[in-house]
Amino acid sequence: MTIDWQKEVDARKDDLLQDLIDLLKVKSEREDDKVTSDAPFGPGPRDALLHMLAYGERDGFVVKNVDNYAGHIEYGEGDETLGIFGHMDVVPAGDGWDTDPYNPVVKDNKIYARGSSDDKGPSIAAYYGMKIIKELGLPLSKKIRFVVGSDEESGWADMDYYFEHEEKPDFGFSPDAEFPIINGEKGNVSIAVHLPNGNEGEYTLESFVSGLRANMVPGTAQAVVTAPDADKVAELTTAFATYLEANPVNGTSSVDGLTVTFDLIGKGAHGASPQIGINAATFLAVFLNDYAFAGGAKNFIQVVAQYLHEDVYGEKLHTAYEDEKMGKLTMNAGLFEFAKDKDQAFINLNFRYPQGTTLEAIEAGLQETIGTLGATFSTEPHHMTPHYVPQDDPLVKTLLAVYEEHTGEKGFEQIIGGGTYGRLLKRGVAYGAMFPGYTDTMHQANEFMSLDDLFRAAVIYADAIYRLAK
């Protein structure tokens, strides 16, 4: 049977885009202060999950909601199950948008909104691939299950809960990365750094705050400093203006008596690729490191300025490692908090590490370096070890063949620092929806997805899902 997948997607373009627009309007950021028994990650992720599941009910699929943690949309019968994993939660919108991040805008053949490329757009494209197969009544030998998550950007507690109640699919993919395929993912672990507070110096660090999530490069940072006299205040503000001119950052300072508030703007990016961001917190700490702080405040600034600034590969921290297949370890310093009235300061370091090194080696490097400045460490429980599915696996071979036939481009394996739901399965990969050469705006202001790529991905997904399940 020959199926014109492009024709089938073209016939549904308007419906696909409208479904995506409606889904993007749901502000599905995790909000821990609004958690209830009915909304385990806050109302936004729950509402987006319900919205996606409602599409499945509308279109006549078998739908199951697992206590508002996650759910699935299912079609077909068979002894084996093909799993497709998408997520409805998004990282915080942050600052710097030209449009409302939750009022989708289509311009220049792109759709702008938080979640457009990560991961609502790709999820809708894959869902429509599954929907086309159902509407055409194509014969299948396997069950297709589209698993919908709501906590991928935080701790994956949605999948922990889901798989306590549901069986894992036998194999599958997540539409949450790049084509041709992602068949390897680095290990992923966040380590909290704790430092004693204290101010015994000529200058007082009242507060230092930066970052929205561990997996985002901080695009903004703020520090509040009290100087010993008016002359020192003037010196601080003048020096800050000079510093901004000499570095790839922007910012402002404001004065209230002897207290100066510094706001610095860098560039946000996905924490899996910290090298493409400009970490506002570390640039601010480098400026402050020239002044006479003491005690805990000095140690906090020194750790950030001397060990974390522009050290995305962990060389200063003695955690650097490179594997021939998986590449280099990366480190994102994503969260910072110092408050004069608290006992401890806090920094979150997110490591994406290749096979060949270990969590224990990373912890040893931290102890050897910033541990000497009084830092203590705690490893967050959501720790993922490196994941790899060989190129000769039938899943990988089939997905690459589909990509090649629809693009005319040679398929190849890829290994990333990002973590996707593909790694939930032993035979799980990430597959699209971004094409080679795309502009990566995930976790950044003005996130968008090309409409051409959205529809082209839906064509590939429809064919791939059918080949895997027929």
For residue 253, the model assigns a pLDDT of: 98
409 shares its domain with 290: no
Q: Report pLDDT for 418.
A: 79
What's the predicted TM-score (pTM) here? 0.83
Q: What is the pLDDT of residue 394?
A: 97
Query: 139 preceded by cis ω (within 30°)?
Result: no
Give me the mean pLDDT over the 267-285 stretch. Answer: 95
The CATH number linked to 133 is: 3.40.630.10
pLDDT tens-digit map of 343-364 = 999 999 999 999 999 999 999 9
Can 89 be counted among the known catalytic residues?
Answer: yes
- In a shared domain, residues 20 and 93: yes
Which pLDDT score is estimated for 130? 98
Res 380: pLDDT: 85
Last residue of a domain, one of 379, 406, 422: 379
Residue 207 and residue 337 in one domain:
yes
Residue 97 sits in the same domain as residue 109: yes
Number of domain units in the chain = 2
Tell me if residue 181 falls in helix, strand or coil: coil
Band (pLDDT 50/70/90 cuts) for residue 149 is very high
Whole-number pLDDT of residue 200: 87
pLDDT, residue 100, reads 98
Active-site position among 74, 89, 153, 158? 89
Q: Are residues 238 and 322 in the same domain?
A: yes
- For the segment 53-67, the average pLDDT, to the nearest whole number, is 98
Is residue 58 very low, low, confident or very high in pLDDT (cuts 50, 70, 90)?
Answer: very high
When pLDDT is averaged across residues 138-156 and rounded to a whole number, the result is 96
Neighbour tally for 211: CB within 10 Å: 24
Task: Tell me, yes or no, whether 397 and 370 share the same domain.
Answer: no
Kindly report, residue by residue over 207-237, the tens digit of the pLDDT. 999 999 898 999 999 999 999 999 999 999 9
Same-domain check for residues 288 and 412: no
Tokens for 297? 């405040």
Backbone angles phi, psi at 162, to 5 degrees: -60, -45
Which domain range does residue 373 map to? 188-379
Residues 431 and 364 in one domain: no
**Residue 406, C-beta contacts closer than 8 angstroms, at least 6 positions apart:** 5, 456, 459, 460, 463
- Interatomic CA distance for residues 154 and 156, integer angstroms: 6
**Marked catalytic residue, from 74, 152, 170, 447:** 152
- The secondary structure element, H or E, covering residue 71 is strand 70-75
User: Does residue 147 sit in the same domain as residue 158?
Assistant: yes
**Over residues 231-248, mean pLDDT:** 98
Single out the residue in 322, 354, 379 at which a domain terminates. 379
Whether residue 382 is predicted with pLDDT greater than 90 in this model: the reply is: no
User: pLDDT tens-digit profile of 317-346?
Assistant: 999 999 999 999 999 999 999 999 999 999
Domain boundary among 320, 351, 379: 379
> What average pLDDT does this structure show over 49-56?
98
Q: What is the dihedral of CA 161, 165, 169, 173, to 10 degrees?
A: -20
CATH code of residue 331: 3.30.70.360
Looking at the fold, whether 311 and 419 belong to one and the same domain comes out as: no
Annotated catalytic residue 152: yes
Distance of alpha carbon 162 from alpha carbon 384, whole angstroms: 17
Each residue's pLDDT tens digit, 170-200: 999 999 999 999 999 999 999 999 999 999 8
| Mean pLDDT over the full length of the chain | 96
210 and 357 assigned to the same domain: yes
Claim to verify: residue 303 and residue 335 sit in the same structural domain:
yes
